[in-house]
Every structure is written in C-alpha cells, then in structure tokens.
A and B are shown apart, each in its own frame.
Chain A
Amino acid sequence: MRRVTQDLLIGTVFSALSVLLLRALSFNAGVAKASEAAPKKPEPAWPALAEGAPKVASYKIEAKLDTERHRIAGRETIHFVNRSSAALNELWFHLYLNAFKNDKTLFLRSPFGAGRSGDKAHEYGYVDVKKLSVLAGDGQDLWQSRDRHSPDDPNDETDLRVPLPSPLEPGQTLNLELEFEVQLPELVERTGFVGSFHFMGQWFPKLARLLPNGTFAHFAFHAQSEFYADFGDYDVSLDVPLGFRVGATGSRVRESQAKGRALLGYHAENVHDFAWTAWDRFETRSERVAGTEVTVLYPPHQLQNAEAELASVRFALPHFNALYGAYPYPTLTLVHPPEAAANAGGMEYPTLITTGGPWYSTFGGAHFIDVVTAHELGHQWFYGLLASNEHSEPFLDEGFNSYAEAEALEAQYGAGSVFGAFGLSVSSTALNRLISAARGEDERIAQGAADFATFRSLGALVYSRTAVVLTTLARVYGRERFNHALGVYTRKFRFQHPTTADFLGVMQSELDSRAVTALALAFSERATVDYLVREISNAPISAAAGVFDGPSGREQKKPETPGPAAKYASRVVVYRHGTLQLPVEIELGFEDGTKQLRHWDGSGFTFNVDNVGPSQLVSVNVDPEQRILLDDDRSNNWLSTRSSSAPRCRERALYAAQLLLGALGP
C-alpha cells in the first residue's frame, strides 16, 4: 500500500506541475507588445475630418418583434433627398430578406451551398411591403406599380424598382411611408432566429444607393455579396417582450414598458444601416474605451470570451483611432452569438459588430477572439466610415480591413498574432500569405463579389491577397509612411463612398507613381512577382597571360601556377518573373564571413550582381528581410554553396519520432 501511495503522490505532483506548465505555455505566448511604452512621436499632418455625411436617406422605423412566430411588424418613414444631378423617375429598393424566401432566389439557388457560411435556409424568411406611399400625399400606394422581381431574374425579389408618380428634381426631398411585415428565416448567414435568439440584419425595406449621376447602385442579393447604401440618420423604436435583452446600432435614447413588453428607442446619425439583436439569455458587460461606451452582449458562461473581446477593443479602438481617424460614434456594441447561432458571428454593421467562437476560444494560445474582434472593429472604418461599394469593389472594405486587422494584431501581439504557444508563433501576415499565395493568378482582385468563381476564391483574393499587397507596399515603402498614406485616405474619404481610383489617387500623392502602378497591376491585372536565383559563379582573377606587344618589345607572360587567388570575380544573376516591378535588396555572403547588401529597383527581367574581392561568394539571399510578401515562391530566393544539413529540423524530427514511438511503442 505504501508503494501505491507513493506512486499516487508522485503522479499527482507530476500532473500538477504539467498543468502549470501547460498554462504557462499556452497563455503567456504572444503577450501584448502594447504594454511597451512607445516613444511619443509628433502627430503627422492629417486632412481635416468631416463631421458628418451628406445625408441622402434617413429612416424612422417602428418594429414589433413576435419572438414566438419570429415575425416583425414594421412601419418605416424614409426622408429622401435627391442629391444627384438628375431628376429621378424611379426608386430602387433592396429587400435583402427576400433572398431567403425560397430555394430559387439568386442567393439560395446554387446547388453548391449558399452564402459565406455555405448554409441553406431551413425555415424560409421574407419581407412583405404592405404599402408604400408619399407622406402627406394623396395616399396612392406606389408599391402596386413596382416591378415584381429583380431585373432579369423572375425568381428573385431582392432588388425592386418603384416608379415615381412625378420626377423628383435635384435637391428636392421626398418623404415616404411604408408598412411592412417580416418573417425571419431560421438563421441563414447573419439573419434570423435560433430558438429565442434573434438577429436582424438587412431586415427592412431599404433604398439602394443614389449615385451622383442620378442612377441607383442596385443589385440582387448574391450569396457572395455584401451591401451598399447611403448615409443618413436612423431613429428606430423596437418593441420586444419583457426579459429580452436588445443590442442595436446607435444609442438607446428611449426606454419604457407596457403590457409585458419593452419599448426601446435607438438613434444613430451618419450611418448607412441599422441592425439589432434580441435574446432572453444575453448577459452584458460594459466599459468606456477611448471615450466610447462599449457594450458586449454574450451568452451565459462566456464571460471569459466577453473579457477577451473587451481587451481586444481596449487595444484596437485607440489604435485604429490613431491610424484612421477617431471613431465618431458614442457607442459600440459587440454581440457574441450563442454557439447554435454561430453563423450570426463575424459581421459588421454601423456601431454594432458580431464576434463569435466557442466558450473555450481563449484557451490554448490561439488569438481567435482577438482576430474576429479586431477585424469586425476595423470595419467601422473600412465599411462604416468609408462606405465603399461592397458589391462591386469588395476588396476596398474586406481587403483593406484585413490589412488593418493584421497590422493591429501584430502591433498588439507581435509575431504570435494568430497563434502563440509552445514556442511556436504564427502571424496574421504569414497566414494571409499562405492563403493567398497559390491563388494570385486565379482571378482579379478588383472585381465584383458576384463575379468571383467561388467564395473560396473571393476569400483568398479579396481578404488575404489584398492584405498581402498592402503589407508588401508597407514593407517596401516603410510601415510608417504607408500607414500615413492609408490614414490620409481614411480621413479624406470619411463619410464618403470611395472607389479604387480615390485610393490610388491618395497613393499617388502620398507615395509615388511606382506604388500606384504596382497596386493597379496587383488589383486589376492578376500581376505576380517571383524573384529567383539559379547559380553562383566565382572565378579567380590572375594576372593576364599571353603574348603582349609593348614599347619595350614583345613580352610573353605565362599563366600563374594554380593556387589561392588574391582576388575573385563573383557573379550571381537575379531573375524576376511576373509583371510586378518591386525594388528588392540582395544579400551577398562571402567565404570570409563578410556580407554585402545590393539594391535592385526591380526593372528589367534580370539583374547581374557582380563583385570583385578577396573572398569567394558563397551565398545569396534575395529579399532577406522578406519585404516582398507577394513573392510567389520564397524557396528559390536563395542559394548557398554550402549544403545545409538542416540540423534544427533533424533534431526536432528526431524528438518528435521519439515521442511518437513512446506513445505507439510497447
């Protein structure tokens, strides 16, 4: 029995120590660099920040949620200003919720799964407009004269034209009144219900964006697409059963109770959408961060995730404020959906973002919570304040935001920004490169969301490759200079709808024309680059031999006897494949241990690196600092005349094999 007790004691001590080590290994890796006090730098000169947007469509909505039948009864008033240069004879409405009406809609009819989540609808959802009339007008129901389906698509009702009874001249306003009813689907993508959890995104009849030339940027809701709308003010009254906790765009400005129901009023200015959620099991955590009231709504037992999200906001919000201009809204709401409604996670709306992840997301060294929080928060700039057309130029929000996310995470966690534990670190940049590297020539980055062959292709190119393009620029031109250029862009086009041309214009003024050429080629022409070396040549330099006719007559010089030469001529040819011309450094290593750095501006297809010196060239490394992240293949960037026995790999592989044998073996 003594032996048993002894074994039990030893085993328990070992186990306890193992648990402590496991915690140390998985929790302390990648601890924020942010705590390191950065030297104060003078604030760069920025363009003045706009205080608000030119408002085109402002909404006043009353919505009553039936949590049993998952229906919403709504009334909506739209205050519309024709800020275009042309008279309008029609309006275009997006009824995005009709994407989930049946299996024949544009969104759902693909046999290969629908949408970003790949999920099909299980219980269908739709929005019915009961009446559309001009407020204080003759009461005519304009909805009766609408087109019955989206253009050229009789099965889709997400993009409908409504003729106006009389032209609306430039500068004129129109007040419209709508009555509508919503049947929520069981959660598809971000919208719908799961049990008593409800998430309402793109749920109300919404005007398409009016372009300056008097046309509307309208489109049927494609599974790969997101949205585009005008800025305005939103005043929304929500009627929900008592006991339901609500999170929504904007600030809560009214609150009352009547007949077992709560009436909540929300107000948001200078935004282009309104989303909300209601669930009777939400728990909340609030904190003031950088002058903004941040509220996290999270499922029971997920306080740890909520704390992690708040911690992420505590770093990222001031970080983004400094880089891209101050967040202009008084509130920010984070919604962490329950596990059963995971598809509602990872989405952005003005002043409201959804995060996500299982209850154990913060364990094990992976920064999943930080990644999703930083990404969705970044969208408050790259989508929220810079409201680009997500349908036709999705890389302007998703791609730029992926760069912003990676930049922020690496500023916070350094090399372990995605994963950091057990001595292993993976950065966002490395992950973006891995995802995008193989797909550089598959499709153009700069194309409409619906034009991508698959969502996987869109993901790799729009999100990851765009981030890699921007990171390459940041590494070539210097992070500070590039971030300043990006900061000028985000400030100059705040509360606007910038396009690729707007971005390239800023890059032209803040960087140079070579940067613009590289960006344009990378975004629009599937341009790639691969620097490579094939061989190293060395030749001893000896005194010239042969027959020489000089002033003193003919002289014959014999070749020197073989032996160590005093000097060597060395050459390596660096090749550039692909059409992107990016400047690159080339590191030469010599036999005596000395190193030299040469610069190639990237022009031409080859670059001869010549050297004459006392030592032979033994190694070459093109782009030793890994600035050209777009380089297709890094394994051909170097050569060494000394063969590598890969000692670290041998050592680690031996240890791994010993552990495997220990587990498998007798």
Chain B
Amino acid sequence: MNDSSPTRAARLSTAAAACMLLWISRTLLGLLVSYPIVLAIQASSMTSGPEGDAVLFQPGGLLLLELLRIGGPWLASALRLVLLLALLSAILELVPLALALDLLWLPGGMLLERSARALRLFPKFLALGAIALLAQAALLLAASLLGAALKPALSSADERLRSIAPIALIGLALLGCGWFGGVLDIARARLVQRGRRECSVQSALSHALLCLKRRPFSVLIGMYPSVAGSALACLTAAWLLARQSSAAPSSTAIALGFGAHQLAVLFSIAWRVRWLGTALELSAERD
C-alpha cells in the first residue's frame, strides 16, 4: 500500500494476514464476551440431560422457552455483563485494528515493533472512537426525536407511511453512522501513516473530512461492499443452517454450524480489510 508498490501476491498475503489477525482477536474477544451467557445457560440445568443442549434447538422451541422462563433472571444478569464485556472488548479491539492498518501500510517488519506502534496509537484511536460514538449517538437520537415529532403530522396519513417513516429515519441515521465510521477509518489510517510524526486526533479527523470533501463518493460508497458483504455473509450462514437444522443434532451439525458461522465472520472481516486498504489509499492521496 505504500510507495514501494508491492506485487498483487504480496498485497493479498498481507491482506490475508490482516484478516487472520482481526479474526483471531474477534474470536478470542467473542469467547470472552459470550462466556457469561454460556455459564447462565448451563446453570439453568436445561442442558444437563442426556441430550445436552440439543434440547434447546428442538423444533417448536418448547425447551428454549422453558430456558427463558426458568433461567430468565440469570440470563438477564448475564446479558448485562455481556454488554459491558462487549463494550470493553470493542475498546480492546482497537489494538488489533491498529496492528492490521499498520500491517497493510507497512508490510513486512517485526511484529514487536508493529505492536509497539499499535499500542502507542491506542489512546488516539480511543479518542477517535469516543468522538464517533458521540456523533453516532447524536445522529440516532436526532432520528428518533424527528420520528416522534413526525407522528402527529402523519396521523392522517396512510398507515403504511406512518409505520415506515420512523423506521426509515432510523435506517438513514444508521447509514449516516456507517458513513461516519468510514470517515473515522480514514482518520485512523492517517494516524497510522503519520507514524512517529506528530499527528493529533483533530488533524487526523480534519484530514479525513477533507478526503470526504474531495472524494465524497469514494468514501461514501467505499464502505458499501463491506456492510452489504457482512449482511450477505450472515444471511447465507443463517440460510445454510436453516436448511440443515431439521437434521438430527450431532457433532457434525455443530461443526458445520461453527464452520458456516466462522466463514461468515471471516468473509465480513475480509471486506472490512479491503475497505481499510481503500481508506489507507484515500488518506495517502492527500500527501
């Protein structure tokens, strides 16, 4: 990605390494985040029968609903812990993200050096993340307030319009959040590119906004395959497993489920890495 213009094969292997890095970190953090829920399910005794947890996936959901009824309080507590862990994990994931960007920008080199650089960038990545979070929350709040304000005005409108309008507004806000995330990635790319040279969060963000101004479509549409790809991957995994779910539960079914889901996660990450490469290119264009 840098001036040395590596070959296509080298670029692909660098991208693959970045994908693996992000997938491993997400899997490890995912295991941490999901642990309280698994513990809560096991504590309910619903999985202690001869068929283990297969009973929870029986057609009709009788025992799945029984789990919700009996284990409701534990699951609710576990869910709160999950959300807290997810927030912490999202912050921790900034380190592998910085590493991945560094890898894409400067292929080769020592992992130790790279890790040190990523750790140095962590506070700035965190600040950018906080800014993004605030902006995205404001956007969603504005959309829901606008939706509520529109309600009386739409009272005499067609009932379809009345139902769709607030959803459409939230959808647009989510789109805006996504685009803002894209701008944020360019700012992150800028921080990585500047390396040791001093670059404040503010100047990285200004740089990203200038990129947006100069190449609006590249920024706005650049993330589109990543977002749509993630949705497609999730739905494909769900579709495949829905076809298979009627089969008798077995270790093969679990392995297939794991494979399908992890392929979906990898596919999403691959398109994310592709976008990160684009972000690095867009950021470098201004230099």
Contacts and interface: CB of A to CB of B under 8 A. Distances in A.
Contact of B50 (A17, A635, A638, A656): A638
Interface string B95-138: 00100000000000000000000000000010001000000000
A406 to B, nearest CB: 11
B87 interface: yes
Contacts of A40: none
Contacts, number: 241
A414 interface: yes
A196 B251 CA distance: 61
Contact of A433 (B65, B222, B227, B278): B65
Interface stretch (A209-217, A394-402, A645-653): A645-653
A634 interface: yes
Interface residues of B, number: 85
B228 A15 contact: yes
A453 interface: no
Contacts of A650: 34, 38
A88 interface: no
Interface in B49-73: 49-54, 56-57, 59-70
A665 B269 CA distance: 12
A509 interface: no
A8 interface: yes
B68 A646 contact: no
Say what secondary structure dominates the interface of chain A. Answer: helix
A12 B229 CA distance: 10
A640 B62 contact: no
Interface in A621-666: 621, 626, 633-640, 643-662, 664-666
B144 interface: no
A589 B50 contact: yes
A264 interface: no
A422 interface: yes
A644 B225 contact: no
Interface residues of A, number: 79
Contact of B87 (A422, A427, A664): A664
A359 B160 contact: yes
A427 B61 contact: yes
A29 B63 CA distance: 20
A126 to B, nearest CB: 28
Nearest to A417: B60
Interface of B: 26-27, 29-31, 33-34, 37-38, 41-42, 44-54, 56-57, 59-70, 82, 86-87, 89-90, 93-94, 97, 125, 129, 158-160, 162-163, 184, 188, 217-218, 221-222, 224-225, 227-232, 234-239, 241-242, 245, 249, 251, 254, 257-258, 261-262, 264-265, 268, 278
Given A15-B232, A416-B59, A437-B66, 19 more contacts: A18-B231, A21-B232, A301-B160, A339-B159, A426-B60, A587-B50, A589-B50, A634-B70, A638-B48, A638-B50, A644-B47, A646-B42, A646-B47, A651-B257, A653-B38, A654-B27, A656-B34, A658-B26, A666-B97
